[in-house]
Amino acid sequence: MLPSDPVRRRVLVTGRSGFTGRYVADALAAQGDLVLALSEQPDDPRAKSVDLLDRAAVASSVAAAAPDAVIHLAAIPFVAHGDADAMYRTNVVGTRNLLEALSTLPRVPDAILLASSANVYGNNAVEFLHESVAPAPANDYAVSKLAMEFMANLWAGKLPLTLVRPFNYTGVGQAEHFLIPKIVSHFRRGDKVIELGNLNVARDFQDVRFVARSYASLLGAGSAGSVVNLCSGESVSLLDIVAMMEDIAGYKIDVRVNPAFVRGNEVAKLTGDNSRLRSLIGPLDIIPLRKTLEWMYASRSDDG
């Protein structure tokens, strides 16, 4: 590196190899940052990943990374995940291990973003969910994320933490047990029938590329101490998504409700207020859901 070359910001991304992590890494690289992974050798993308529940390994990896900033994405993210114990341990204890390790660094990072979830709002009568709405989690995943938030607040005096609450998002590479990739894959294969659960749910869906750029932009936004929604501000129903895909694929599909997919505690509607995000990073480059669906449908596979 020449003396005139700028020093690249070292950003540790946990969950670097996951669905969201890959897009966040691309967004960070695009703005000139050096992306590090939570691994045995943080600078080597091929190195073995570190288990968040291995406290000593997390401390060693964080010390080796010496990050200037952190985006913590690693978690068990699926609402219907069958192992509640693993979900709580990873999402809460794993995050605690990370924060403990960061707090012992000779120089703590300038910004630390922790990925929570809009699921913490639960079934709420507020039309547009802003960050001051009282949480009302309705499933174990949401409870684990809210518990993570409360635990993280214990470190607020030592670390510059921002709690980020993304609403639902999707894109190429997301696993098919998530709703939209499942729907898109049915149409890509030309299936005539699809089995779904609650048909009347509505979600504030976003494109993973918008989410990734928002994470990258928030690192320099001076948001420490804040809770920030990542959302489009509009909700789309499941049936509307199916209708969009029928138009994109050029044929109708027979939608059947499978009782096994129906969740009794399903959150009926989630629509976010993105005013705070806009105030922090400026105008939002929100990608219309139809464009995201077209991108996913045109991809040769969903493995990114």
Backbone angles phi, psi at 33, to 5 degrees: -85, 155
Q: Does residue 97 belong to any structural domain of this protein?
A: yes
The whole-number pLDDT of residue 270 equals 81
CATH number (domain holding residue 156):
3.40.50.720
| Segments forming the whole domain that contains residue 77 | 10-173+206-232+266-287
Q: With 0-12 CB in 10 A as exposed, 13-18 as middle and 19+ as buried, what is 64?
A: middle
Q: Does residue 282 belong to any structural domain of this protein?
A: yes
Number of H helices, E strands in the chain: 10, 13
Regions in the chain scoring below 50 on pLDDT: 1-4, 302, 304
- Looking at the structure of the chain, the number of domains it has is 1
Q: Does residue 300 belong to any structural domain of this protein?
A: no
Strand ranges for the chain from DSSP E: 10-14, 34-37, 69-72, 111-115, 161-166, 169-170, 193-196, 202-203, 206-207, 227-230, 236-237, 254-257, 269-270
The whole-number pLDDT of residue 301 equals 55
Q: Does residue 194 belong to any structural domain of this protein?
A: no
CB 120 within 8 A of CB 146: yes
The whole-number pLDDT of residue 4 equals 46
Q: Does residue 257 belong to any structural domain of this protein?
A: no
Instruction: For residue range 143-178, list pLDDT tens digits in order.
Output: 999 999 999 999 999 999 999 999 999 999 999 988
Q: Does residue 76 belong to any structural domain of this protein?
A: yes
Identify the helix (H) or strand (E) that includes residue 198: none
Alpha-carbon gap, residue 174 to 165, rounded angstroms: 19
Alpha-carbon gap, residue 182 to 114, rounded angstroms: 28
pTM above 0.85, yes or no: yes
Q: Does residue 37 belong to any structural domain of this protein?
A: yes
Q: Does residue 296 belong to any structural domain of this protein?
A: no
Closest C-alpha to 86, from 95, 75, 96: 75
The whole-number pLDDT of residue 5 equals 53
The whole-number pLDDT of residue 199 equals 84
Write out the two tokens for 66.
């010496």
CB 15 within 8 A of CB 71: no
Q: How many CB atoms lie within 10 A of CB 194?
A: 17
CA angle at 18 for the pair 43 and 185, rounded to the nearest 5°:
150
Alpha-carbon gap, residue 145 to 92, rounded angstroms: 7
